[in-house]
Every structure is written in C-alpha cells, then in structure tokens.
Amino acid sequence: MQSRGEKNIPKRLRKEPLLEAVWELRFQSDSDAVEGILPGIILGQLQGVFEAPVRLPAADIPPAARAQQPIFNYAPAFRLSGKNAHSCYDIQIGPRAVTLNCRRPYPGWNKFKAEILKLAGIVRKTGLIAVVERFSLKYVDLIPAAAPDYLSPLNGEFRIGGHHLGRSPLQVQSQLPYGDFIHILTLLLPARVEGQNLNAEGLLIDIDTVYPAASEEFWDGFEQRLDAAHDSNHRLFFDILKQETVELLEPEFDRGGVPL
C-alpha cells in the first residue's frame, strides 16, 4: 500500500521523454590492450546481433596523455552498433570502461536489463577485469517546456537574489547521495532535439546513478544492485517533477496504482 505523502510512481509514460539510457562499467585491468582485445571477444559472442567494431577518435589518444589525464581511460575507443531488433543499442569500449547505450525507442527496463546482464556476463568471463571500480546507470530525458521559464516543469523554486533562473541559458549539476548510490543530477536549458522520433525544445534532465564498487565481491548480488539503481533513478526523476508535468506525459500505472 502507498504510504501517505509518497508519490505514486508511473510504470511508463505514453509521451516518452527519454533520449538515451546508458549503463557503464569502469574497471582496472592487468592488460594494457583491453580496448583492442575486448571488441573482438564481444562481437564473437554476439555474432549477427552487432556490427563489426568501429574505431573512434579516442583510440588515437597516446598512453602518455592518458597517464596525465586518467579520465581519457574511460573514453570509448571502439563502438559496436546493434542490428535489426538491437538497432537501438550501441556497445562502446575504452581502456578501462564498457558501456551499453540505448537510444529511442526505449524497449523498457526488463529488456534493457537483460542486455546489460548479457554484456556484463561476457565481459566478466574474459578475465580481463582485475578490479571493478563502479557501475552507473544514466537516463537522459527532454521535458518539453517553452520560454521564458524552462524550469517550470520542476518541483522547486530556482532563484538567486532577485533573479529567477531558467529564463536564460543555464547548466546546473549536483551530487545527491542516496543509500548505496550517488545521483549526479544535471539540468541543461534550453535544449532542442530534432530526430530520434522527437522534435522538441525544453529542459534536459540527466540523472547518472553511480554505485562505487567497494568490495571484491562486486558480482555477488549484481542484478539486485542493478535493479536498485534503476528504481532509485526512476524515483528521483519523478520526485523532481511537478505532478502536472507528469500528467502531461500521460503516465500509466500498475494495476491498483502500486508504485514500481
């Protein structure tokens, strides 16, 4: 039963605002050539489902530059694009990171999770991962809104002194700890998207839910933590929206209005 004051969380939105969902695994490896080895292994396991790897600009970053700027180690060097029923997916591989990117139309959490678990299982069995640093689950949405107040869909006031934020270009980022996770919330406006079955202008909401791996037993209970990350991300998204914003997106609920 839903407790008093708790928001009823929709199961899905008929007017889907999602632009992209991304699962990322960051790790350490004993190999200096992960990005050169892993694409071929993944393609071999997913033959006929993904295209051959495409080399990306980050593949040309020299080792010396990566040593000076460690963030380059997480930049994707190769991309495998999905075919046919998997055309909404891309797999990207860097020296110390693997991602599964899902574009519109989003197939729903159960199908996306199944693809994540499949990819994670392949990567784990290679033996190339010595230590997992973290995994994250990111959802990027565009909420239609019009000038002059692009922040109107949000459940909150945004002022500094006598100035009302949101009536001029704005980018805000904040880290919100929640249980075992850290939510990195980014708001960007105005944002405009043309394509991906969506032509709209408004507020871009990027919620990156990070689980820092603090134990060698990372893989024990991985699926449960993955579900928990999705649930936490999902609830934060609806928590920061006004109820009237949710209604405009035409929510659908589980039978009996039970939150996910």
Q: How far apart are CA 232 and CA 128, in angstroms?
A: 30
Identity of the residue numbered 77: A
Q: How far apart are CA 41 and CA 50, in angstroms?
A: 12
Phi then psi for residue 118, to 5 deg, are: -65, -50
| CB distance 131 to 140 below 8 Å | no
Model's pTM, two decimal places?
0.92
Which residues, in sequence order, are CB contacts of 65 under 8 Å at separation 6+?
72
Q: How far apart are CA 100 and CA 115, in angstroms?
A: 8
Tokens of 112: 């996306």
As to burial, measured by CB atoms within 10 angstroms (0-12 exposed, 13-18 middle, 19+ buried), residue 221 is exposed
Domain boundaries, the chain: 17-129, 136-251
Residue-wise pLDDT tens for the chain (260 aa)?
Answer: 343 345 678 988 999 999 999 999 999 999 988 999 999 999 999 989 999 999 999 999 998 898 899 999 999 999 999 999 999 999 999 999 999 999 998 999 999 999 999 999 999 999 999 999 999 999 999 999 888 889 999 998 888 888 888 778 899 999 999 989 999 999 999 999 887 667 889 999 999 999 997 667 789 999 999 999 999 999 999 999 999 999 999 999 876 544 33
As to burial, measured by CB atoms within 10 angstroms (0-12 exposed, 13-18 middle, 19+ buried), residue 56 is middle
